[in-house]
Structure 1
């Protein structure tokens, strides 16, 4: 199935690529630029728990297959920009979209991005975009090499990677950017029937080239309106880099209506540190905590839900321009016996992941 989808995506991209050079020449005369980007991320993950179905824990969507060499993400992406018009279109395949977009209609599961935007002001950087676009929530991306660690944190895996709808972005200055979003749901391309669209906001502050501080919100329901279950979510993250050192901190907190007047809560926190040695080597470390006792995001059937600590150590090696080899060891420790193994369920899960990634 995944091979078939990859072939289909490549066939479509093959039709687009020969047009790229012509479009660059033609559109440059009218003030537009067409850019092409490709990304391939292949991996092998070994889970010492040896789950019976060869899947990593179900709350992981990236690098989620055990003891097989596979494609996590293959991406072909086009962007077009003019002074007051912009658009993007990307097709993807791999175990990541296969796992993360399983609830979408089959025809839409290979879409990474499909949006068009118009600049609303001649003098101010105010844009409105509509379509499928990258989520405004979180500091981590579906594209692995844009992240400091090989695998994604639990909070990133269980908050939206993408959204569908419309967004208004205003870059007030080089330091401040704000956004307001009207979307079809919590990581949904197609809106659930009888569901009111959801809303989000973002405030990004970049005081200098070393520091970023971001606050993102989401409000709405991921179920039909007749069921209620209104959801409110906040994400706050901070990034600092100076010289060879860097640190990232992220805090997530969510509320969702339950039966009656009660609310269920979940939350997570992440700390990532990295240290570069020259241009080629960059080790990293991560500590994380996630708690979802009411099983809003991850159903486990255990007394405390997904309540766990996570730890990882990784190493990135730049082998050529835009080509990386990445290694990571990662372990989880849960309050309950959450993780499948050949000996039954256990509180602990450990895995080693290696990947090769190229961007072109």
Structure 2
């Protein structure tokens, strides 16, 4: 992301003990599932040089602090806390364990022994928006969202900018479910959006509920976090997915080598940290070719989803022509771009 690295005293280790703290179940087929695939990747690559532990279904706040502290007390050398709401508990525990390395996903607060990491999943979200813009018939896209934090708002806006780059008449309706993982609420939200005329459903939640709702109604969908096509064989077009394995391997290897430092990592398509799931045959060939050209342009740096001109909902130009939002602006998103319908919750 930005900022200099911070070093803590470290020595090389023969075996590193790594803990993972998960917000949901490993079987959610979404966010937690993708992180656990990363954990397994580390085990496969490092073998007996690593020992991993994971705790699933951990709530924000006091529960997270208790779990993180327990892992630190039990000799873990490196702890990954994998939800935005774990940020402050991670920092609090880290103060008591200065020789343990902590890595927090999607956060922005860093100390000598707490690093941050995320992927630029807004890049493939922009590309799914392009697909939606080419395939919608109603020009109404439904979006099931978790919480109105910058990460989620950034994804909605990236999707909408991709959508309207090829179809300026299309709009996005958002339903907030106030949960990361609640299959029933997520599915109900998707059903409500379909009832409001949405003929494509996207999501920033962690269960396949929205994909299942779309499949049941014969409406196209985009999954999130991982390939959710098994839940929408006829209608799941693709998904913006995470690939945590290489990042987790690099961080673990750094601890093994005694070279770990607190850094901000925000990798994208160029580093294979994020990508699109396989395309559904329903997507026309020319649309796939268009998306692949745009994907290559993003990877090469000639296309940025948040390059101006960008207007907000009121029509005010927020990013001028020729300018591009920087990382600090992206991390602080608190407004909708033009094309998103409805008010942003406060």
- TM-score scaled by length of structure 2: 0.26
- TM-score scaled by length of structure 1: 0.25
**Is the helix fraction higher in 1 or 2?**
2
Larger relative contact order (CA 8 Å, sep ≥ 6): 2
